[in-house]
Amino acid sequence: MTEVRLVDIEKRYGGFLALPKQSLTIEAGEFLVLLGPSGCGKTTTMRMIAGLEDITSGDVLIDNDRVNDKPPKDRDIAMVFQNYGLYPHMTVAQNIGYPLKLRGISKAECTARVLEIAEKVELEELLKRRPSELSGGQRQRVALARAIIRTPKIFLMDEPLSNLDAKLRVTMRAELKHLHHELGVTTIYVTHDQMEAMTLATRIAVMREGRIVQLDTPKKIYSEPVDLFVAGFIGSPSMNLIKGEVENGFFVAKGVKIPVQFSDRCDVVLGVRPEDLEIVERQRANIMAPVYALELTGDATLVTIKDGATSICVRGPADFEANIDEVCHIAPRKPEKLHLFDKSTGERLNS
């Protein structure tokens, strides 16, 4: 298994600083997910590891071997590109089998492997087509199949499931997870889908404007986001972020009064996830506001209440019923699931 180290790596495009100097170690056998909004530098990071992009300064080490000047083909990396990168003149089967052909594997073995992988990504019916005759999601699966047909030192996957429908995405996610379990190949995976990040990653690096703002296990990132950016990015529906202040042991905002163990302070933001709130009777309520919207998801009802500028979502039971504008009473399930942030810096205040 292979370790990848980025040491004091920096990337500039002319005058534009895409990635400020930083270091990151991807441990051998790890499934590291780079998660962040569009333009934050995920693809650039991957391309530098693959050798497709020059590094402005710093080093890329693959198993302690400095590879800055090594061409991509000598790095033993299989990559799924965001734009697929398929060979237009080749059929699906030829595209998928290409990495094996390059390695001089016999035609019979190649054909058998192609069929095996094509079944995994549900493409076995389309092997004779060319990329121009495929849908976006089908092309994406060809790219994925081409990457996973052999066992490289490192997998780099840039949004490999972004164009698949919801059901296929979940199936492919499980395939990738199983593949990682089976082969244990060090994988760096880019997504802006936080659900994909949570389910696949051994660790997630949350990026913002070129910087890694939090690097941790999915569990820790979910339960202890370091700042408002991470708090708002991870989780669906998003964490409620309520502006207010701490006064005499209570967090207070319009319609909200919740006991917190924190010293008095203005300009804070209380974060609480919809599933960490519950609908209660009036006497136990810490939050009271009229119902603004009800959304049945099947196994739950998402209840949004709104009082002035403050809007709060709570995950209620599937059989919950209320009229719009009717006052709803809410309380946090557990005090340890409350997060406090500094409103101006965005930093987490409680541990």
Ligand X SMILES: Nc1ncnc2c1ncn2[C@@H]1O[C@H](COP(=O)(O)OP(=O)(O)OP(=O)(O)O)[C@@H](O)[C@H]1O
Interface residue list for Mg ion (CB under 5 A):
43, 82
Cα separation, 152 vs 154, in Å, equals: 5
Residue with tokens 């164009």: 163
Q: Closest approach of Cβ 177 to ligand X, in Å?
A: 22
Helix, strand, coil percentages (3-state) for the chain, rounded to 5, are 30, 35, 35
Nearer to Mg ion by Cβ, of 82 and 199: the residue is: 82
Helix locations, 16-91, DSSP H: 42-50
Task: Work out what residue 39 binds among ligand X, Mg ion, none; the CB cut-off runs from 5 to 8 Å by kind.
Answer: ligand X
Q: Closest approach of Cβ 98 to Mg ion, in Å?
A: 23
Binding piece for ligand X, criterion CB under 6 A, among 39-47, 119-127, 217-225, 272-280: 39-47
Binding of residue 43 to ligand X (CB under 6 A):
yes
Selected from 15, 16, 108, 182, the binder of ligand X by CB under 6 A is: 16
Binding of residue 39 to ligand X (CB under 6 A):
yes
Cα separation, 271 vs 164, in Å, equals: 32
Nearer to ligand X by Cβ, of 16 and 69: the residue is: 16
Residue with tokens 């998402």: 302
Contacts of 209 by beta carbon, 8 Å cutoff, 6+ apart: 40, 41
How many residues sit close enough to ligand X to count as binding (CB under 6 A)? 13
Q: Closest approach of Cβ 25 to ligand X, in Å?
A: 20
Q: Closest approach of Cβ 67 to Mg ion, in Å?
A: 21
In the range 18-37, which residues lie near ligand X by CB under 6 A?
18, 36
Binding piece for ligand X, criterion CB under 6 A, among 40-48, 100-108, 222-230, 340-348: 40-48
Nearer to Mg ion by Cβ, of 16 and 104: the residue is: 16
Task: Work out what residue 169 binds among ligand X, Mg ion, none; the CB cut-off runs from 5 to 8 Å by kind.
Answer: none
Binding piece for ligand X, criterion CB under 6 A, among 42-50, 98-106, 116-124, 304-312: 42-50
- How many CB atoms within 10 Å of residue 244? 21
Q: Closest approach of Cβ 44 to ligand X, in Å?
A: 3
In the range 188-207, which residues lie near ligand X by CB under 6 A?
192
Nearer to ligand X by Cβ, of 19 and 96: the residue is: 19
Cα separation, 137 vs 30, in Å, equals: 27
Q: Tokens in use for 247?
A: 């006064």
Binding of residue 44 to ligand X (CB under 6 A):
yes
Selected from 42, 141, 173, 348, the binder of ligand X by CB under 6 A is: 42
Q: What is the DSSP secondary-structure string of 211-257? A: EEEEEE-HHHHHHS-SBHHHHHHSSSSPPEEEEEEEETTEEEETTEE
Rg (Cα) of the chain, in Å, rounded? 24
Cα separation, 58 vs 272, in Å, equals: 39
Please state the separation of Cα 261 from the chain's center in Å.
Answer: 32
Q: Tokens in use for 285?
A: 């309520």
Nearer to Mg ion by Cβ, of 18 and 228: the residue is: 18
Binding piece for ligand X, criterion CB under 6 A, among 10-18, 107-115, 319-327, 329-337: 10-18
Cα separation, 291 vs 305, in Å, equals: 4
Q: Tokens in use for 210?
A: 């070129």
Selected from 4, 40, 205, 206, the binder of ligand X by CB under 6 A is: 40
**Type of residue numbered 191:** T
Selected from 13, 101, 284, 297, the binder of ligand X by CB under 6 A is: 13
Task: Work out what residue 40 binds among ligand X, Mg ion, none; the CB cut-off runs from 5 to 8 Å by kind.
Answer: ligand X
Q: Name the β-bridge partners of 311.
A: 306
Contact at 8 Å (CB) between 310 and 256?
Answer: yes
The 3-state DSSP class for residue 31 equals strand
In the range 50-109, which residues lie near ligand X by CB under 6 A?
82
Residues that bind ligand X (CB under 6 A): 13, 16, 18, 36, 38-44, 82, 192
